[in-house]
Chain A
Amino acid sequence: MKFRLEKRDSRSTRMAVLVPVASLLVSFILGAIVLLISDANPFQAYAAMIKGAFGSQTKLQYTLVKSIPLLLCGLAVGIAFRLKFWNIGAEGQYVGGVIGITWVMQFWTFLPSALLLPVGMLVGILFGAIWGGIPGVLKAQWSVDETLTTLMMNYIIIGFAEYLYFDAWKAPRGNMGTVLYPKEAWLPRIWGRVHGGIFIALILVGILWFVLYKTRWGFELNMIGKNKRAAECQGVSIKKNIILAMLLSGAIAGLAGVIDAAAVTHQLTKGVDAGYGFTGIIIAWMSGLNPFISIIVSVIMAALETGSDALQMTMKLPNAMGAVLQGLILIPLLAGNIFIEYRLLVIKNRKEVTA
Chain B
Amino acid sequence: MSELTTDETPVVRMVNITKHFPGVLANDQVNLTLHRGEILALLGENGAGKSTLMNMLVGLYQADSGEIYVKGKLAEINSPQDSMALGIGMIHQEFMLVGNMSVAENIVLGMKDLPFVPPMAEIHEKITELSKRYGLQVYPDKIIQDLSVGEQQRVEILKLLYRGADILILDEPTAVLTPGEARDLNEILKKMLTEGKSAIFITHKMDEVMEFSHTVQVLRRGKSVSVCPTKSIKRVQDLANMMVGRDILFSLERGPYNPGDIKVEVKDLLVLPVGGGKPILDNISFSIRGGEILGIAGVAGNGQQQLTEAITGLLKVNGGTIFLNGKDMTNKTPLQVIKAGVSHIPADRGSMGVVGDMSVGDNLSMKKYRTAELSSHNIIKRGLVRKFADHLIELFTIKTPNQDTSVKFLSGGNIQKTILAREIDACGGILIAVYPSRGLDVGATEAVRQNLIKQRDKGCAVLLVSEELEELLMVADKIAVMFEGRIMDIVDAKDAKTEELGMLMAGVERRDI
Q: What is the interface of chain A, defined by CB distance below 8 A to chain B?
A: 2, 4, 6, 9-11, 214-217, 219, 222-223, 226-227, 229-237, 345, 347, 349-350, 352-355
B residues 361-419 in Cβ contact with A at 8 Å: 362, 366-367, 369-370, 375, 378-380, 382, 401, 405-406, 409
Give Cα A160–Cα B401 distance, bound, in whole angstroms: 57
The reply on B250 being an interface residue by CB < 8 A is: no
Q: Which residue of B lies closest to A216 (CB)?
A: B378
State which of A235, A237, A354 has its C-beta within 8 Å of the C-beta of B74.
A354
Apart from A4-B79, A226-B355, A230-B354, what 18 extra A-B contacts exist at CB < 8 Å? A2-B78, A4-B62, A11-B406, A215-B378, A216-B378, A216-B379, A219-B362, A219-B369, A223-B355, A226-B357, A227-B357, A230-B352, A233-B344, A233-B346, A233-B353, A235-B339, A347-B78, A352-B76
- Find out whether the CB atom of A234 lies under 8 angstroms from the CB atom of B367: yes
Q: Which A residues lie within 8 Å of B353 (CB)?
A: 230, 233
Q: Which B residues lie within 8 Å of A353 (CB)?
A: 74
Q: Which A residues lie within 8 Å of B74 (CB)?
A: 352-355
What 1/0 mask marks residues of chain B from 309 to 344 whose CB sits below 8 Å from any chain A CB?
A: 000101000000000000000000111011100001
State which of B335, B358, B362 has its C-beta within 8 Å of the C-beta of A235.
B335
- Find out whether the CB atom of A231 lies under 8 angstroms from the CB atom of B406: no
Q: Which residue of B lies closest to A217 (CB)?
A: B378
- Find out whether the CB atom of B76 lies under 8 angstroms from the CB atom of A226: no
Q: Which A residues lie within 8 Å of B351 (CB)?
A: 227, 229-230
Q: How far is the CB of B8 from chain A (nearest CB, A)?
A: 14
Centre residue among B79, B354, B355, B382 by max chain A CB count within 10 A: B355
The reply on B116 being an interface residue by CB < 8 A is: no
Q: What is the interface of chain B, defined by CB distance below 8 A to chain A?
A: 13, 21-23, 61-62, 69, 72-74, 76, 78-79, 312, 314, 333-335, 337-339, 344, 346, 351-358, 362, 366-367, 369-370, 375, 378-380, 382, 401, 405-406, 409
Give Cα A11–Cα B370 distance, bound, in whole angstroms: 28
- Find out whether the CB atom of B69 lies under 8 angstroms from the CB atom of A355: yes
Q: Which residue of A lies closest to B370 (CB)?
A: A216
- Find out whether the CB atom of A227 lies under 8 angstroms from the CB atom of B355: yes
Given known contacts A232-B334, A233-B312, A10 and B405 CB-to-CB distance under 8 angstroms: yes
State which of B69, B352, B369 has its C-beta within 8 Å of the C-beta of A229.
B352
Given known contacts A223-B358, A234-B367, A350-B76, A216 and B314 CB-to-CB distance under 8 angstroms: no
Q: Which residue of B lies closest to A9 (CB)?
A: B22
- Find out whether the CB atom of B380 lies under 8 angstroms from the CB atom of A219: yes
Q: Which B residues lie within 8 Å of A233 (CB)?
A: 312, 314, 334, 344, 346, 352-353
- Find out whether the CB atom of A345 lies under 8 angstroms from the CB atom of B62: yes
Q: Which B residues lie within 8 Å of A355 (CB)?
A: 13, 69, 72-74
Give Cα A227–Cα B72 distance, bound, in whole angstroms: 46
Q: Which B residues lie within 8 Å of A214 (CB)?
A: 379-380, 382
Give Cα A345–Cα B60 distance, bound, in whole angstroms: 12
- Find out whether the CB atom of A235 lies under 8 angstroms from the CB atom of B334: yes
Give Cα A223–Cα B359 distance, bound, in whole angstroms: 11
Q: Which A residues lie within 8 Å of B344 (CB)?
A: 233
State which of B78, B335, B338, B357 has its C-beta within 8 Å of the C-beta of A4.
B78
Q: Can you list 12 contacts pairing A with B, beta carbon distance less than 8 Å?
A: A6-B61, A214-B380, A216-B369, A216-B370, A216-B378, A223-B358, A223-B366, A226-B357, A226-B358, A233-B314, A234-B338, A355-B73
Given known contacts A9-B409, A223-B358, A227-B354, A232 and B72 CB-to-CB distance under 8 angstroms: no
Give Cα A234–Cα B422 distance, bound, in whole angstroms: 11
Q: How far is the CB of B506 from chain A (nearest CB, A)?
A: 31
Centre residue among A11, A347, A349, A355 by max chain B CB count within 10 A: A355
Q: How far is the CB of B316 from chain A (nearest CB, A)?
A: 13
Q: Which B residues lie within 8 Å of A217 (CB)?
A: 378
Give Cα A236–Cα B333 distance, bound, in whole angstroms: 9
State which of A216, A222, A349 has its C-beta within 8 Å of the C-beta of B358.
A222
Q: Which A residues lie within 8 Å of B314 (CB)?
A: 232-233
Q: How far is the CB of A233 from chain B (nearest CB, A)?
A: 5
Q: Which A residues lie within 8 Å of B337 (CB)?
A: 235
Q: How far is the CB of B339 from chain A (nearest CB, A)?
A: 8
Give Cα A223–Cα B358 distance, bound, in whole angstroms: 8
Q: Which B residues lie within 8 Å of A219 (CB)?
A: 362, 369, 380
Give Cα A192–Cα B73 distance, bound, in whole angstroms: 77
Closest 8 CB pairs of A and B: A235-B335, A227-B355, A235-B338, A226-B357, A235-B334, A353-B74, A226-B355, A234-B366
- Find out whether the CB atom of A352 lies under 8 angstroms from the CB atom of B73: yes
- Find out whether the CB atom of B22 lies under 8 angstroms from the CB atom of A235: no
Q: Which residue of A lies closest to B71 (CB)?
A: A355
Given known contacts A10-B409, A216-B369, A231 and B355 CB-to-CB distance under 8 angstroms: yes
Q: Which A residues lie within 8 Å of B312 (CB)?
A: 233
Q: Which B residues lie within 8 Å of A222 (CB)?
A: 355, 358, 362
Q: Which B residues lie within 8 Å of A216 (CB)?
A: 369-370, 375, 378-380
Q: Which A residues lie within 8 Å of B366 (CB)?
A: 223, 230, 234
Q: Which B residues lie within 8 Å of A352 (CB)?
A: 73-74, 76
Q: Which residue of A lies closest to B409 (CB)?
A: A10
Q: Which B residues lie within 8 Å of A349 (CB)?
A: 76
Give Cα A179–Cα B397 distance, bound, in whole angstroms: 70
Q: How far is the CB of B185 from chain A (nearest CB, A)?
A: 29
